[in-house]
Amino acid sequence: MSTYHSPFDRLRAKFDETELTCRQCGYHDESGGWRVSSSGDRVQYQFVCPSCSAVETREMRLS
């Protein structure tokens, strides 16, 4: 049985496992993670680099 409650939790966990290297400066954040927010018809995932403060965003539209 999965420890994640929704498909969105599973996707965030996937990003946390594979997408923790900053595309701007190359820093790999081993203890970081993606933040998730939603606004009705959109789910937004954000990673903020602790080294250079670059923001990486992924957005899913629900329709």
Domain count, the chain: 1
Predicted pLDDT of residue 3: 67
Question: Mean pLDDT of residues grouped by 10 in the chain (63 residues)?
Answer: 72 85 94 88 93 94 85
SS3 for 44?
Answer: strand
Give the per-residue pLDDT at 12: 84
Give residue 21's domain range: 7-61
Residue 9: what pLDDT? 84
Q: Does 2 map to a domain?
A: no
Contacts of 52 (CB under 8 A, 6+ apart): 22, 24, 25, 27
Structure confidence at residue 2 (pLDDT) = 55
